[in-house]
Amino acid sequence: MQYTSAGLTDRGRKRSANEDAFAISAENGIYVVCDGMGGAAAGEVASSLAVEEVLKHFNARTAEMTPSQAAEQAVREANDSIYTHAQRNSKLNGMGTTLVAMVTEENHAWILNVGDSRCYRLRAGNLEQITVDHSLVDEQVRSGRMKPDEAKRSPLRNVITRALGTQSSVTPDIFPLDTEPGDLFLLCSDGLTRELADDLLASMLANDIPIGQLCERLVGAANNAGGQDNITCIVIRAQG
Ligand code: CA
C-alpha cells in the first residue's frame, strides 16, 4: 500500500497566533496534528515541541518495536519533554497540547489520540470518526447526561480531560485499523470540526482532487464559516 499526504495549518480569522502544529514524515509513515494550550506563547511551544519529539522518537525506533509500540513510546517521551519543560519555566507552567497521530505500515494503520483533535476515515463515501474526544462535554454526551446540541453550545466545550504535557504521564487511545485502497484519512484540530459539520466534511472529502487542494478547500471552508480558532488538517490517501 502506498500513501500520499498533504497538510495545512492556518491561524484562522479570530486568533492572533497559531497554536496548532503538524508534521508529516511520509518516508517513516507517521503523521501528527497537535493543538496547543496555555498562556502567552505556551500553547505554541507545547504543540511544536510535541510534533518534533514524537517524530524524533518514532523515527529513532529500533527494529524489534512494532509501529504501534514505537508510536506509543514516542507519545510518552513527548509528554515527558513538555511536562519537564513546563516545570522548569514558570512562563510555560500548565502548557499542554492535544495530539492525534497516524502511523502506517503496509495495509495497517494505528491512530493515537489524546484530547479533542480528531481522526476520520472516509471509505466508500462513508465518513467515520475514528477517535473519541477526551472532552468534558463529549464524556457527558456519551454517558447520556448531555444532548449533542447542548454540548455544542456549552461554555464548558473547551475543557479537555486528557492532554499531553500537563501531567507526568499520559495514556493515548490507540485504534488499530486495516487500510484499503481508496481510504482517505483526515487528522484535524477542533478549529476545523467546530466550523464544518460531518456531512459537509464527508462531501468535501469525497471530491476526487489532489489532496493538497483538498486541504486548502477544507481550511478555506472553515475560515468562511467563521474561522474562530486555528485550523489544521492532514489528509492521507491510501492507494493500492
Ligand atoms: Ca483549537
pTM over 0.95: yes
Residue 192 is placed in which grid cell? 476545523
Convert 58-93 to b/e letters by CB count within 10 Å (16 or more is b): beebeeeeebbebbbebbbbbbbbbbebbeeeeebe
pLDDT higher than 90, residue 240: no
pLDDT at 226: 98
For the beta carbon of residue 142, count every other beta carbon within 10 angstroms.
Answer: 11
Q: How many whole angstroms from 27 Cα to the centroid of ligand 1?
A: 28
Q: What is the mean pLDDT of residues 77-99?
A: 95
pLDDT at 41: 85
Burial class (CB in 10 A: 0-12, 13-18, 19+), 13: middle
pLDDT higher than 90, residue 72: yes
Residue 121 CA: distances (Å) to CA of 127, 217, 237: 6, 18, 10
pLDDT at 167: 95
Q: How many whole angstroms from 54 Cα to the centroid of ligand 1?
A: 19
CA–CA separation, 146 vs 16, rounded Å? 32
Q: How many whole angstroms from 25 Cα to the centroid of ligand 1?
A: 23
Q: How many whole angstroms from 175 Cα to the centroid of ligand 1?
A: 22
**CA dihedral of 158, 159, 162, 163, whole degrees rounded to 10:** 60
Q: How many whole angstroms from 144 Cα to the centroid of ligand 1?
A: 25
- Domain ranges, ordered by start, for the chain: 2-129+163-239
What one-letter code names the amino acid at 150? E
Number of residues assigned to the chain? 240
pLDDT at 181: 97
pLDDT higher than 90, residue 36: yes
Q: How many whole angstroms from 2 Cα to the centroid of ligand 1?
A: 30
CA–CA separation, 97 vs 19, rounded Å? 9
Q: How many whole angstroms from 118 Cα to the centroid of ligand 1?
A: 11
pLDDT at 152: 86
Continuous H helices in the chain: 42-59, 67-88, 136-142, 148-153, 190-193, 198-205, 211-224
CA–CA separation, 46 vs 26, rounded Å? 23
Which residues have C-beta within 8 Å of that of residue 204, sequence separation ≥ 6?
A: 196, 214, 217, 218, 221
pLDDT at 9: 98
Share of the chain above pLDDT 90, in %: 94
For 5-65, give the DSSP string: EEEEEE-TTT-SS--EEEEEEGGGTEEEEEEEE-TTTHHHHHHHHHHHHHHHHHHT--TTS
Q: Which helix (H) or strand (E) holds 178?
A: strand 173-178
Using a CB cutoff of 5 Å, list residues around ligand 1, an ion.
35, 189-191, 229
Q: How many whole angstroms from 190 Cα to the centroid of ligand 1?
A: 5
pLDDT digits (tens, 9 = 90+) for 110-126: 999 999 999 999 999 99
Residue 1 CA: distances (Å) to CA of 6, 32, 181: 17, 20, 7
pLDDT at 40: 78
Q: How many whole angstroms from 79 Cα to the centroid of ligand 1?
A: 19
Domain 2-129+163-239 classification at class level: alpha beta
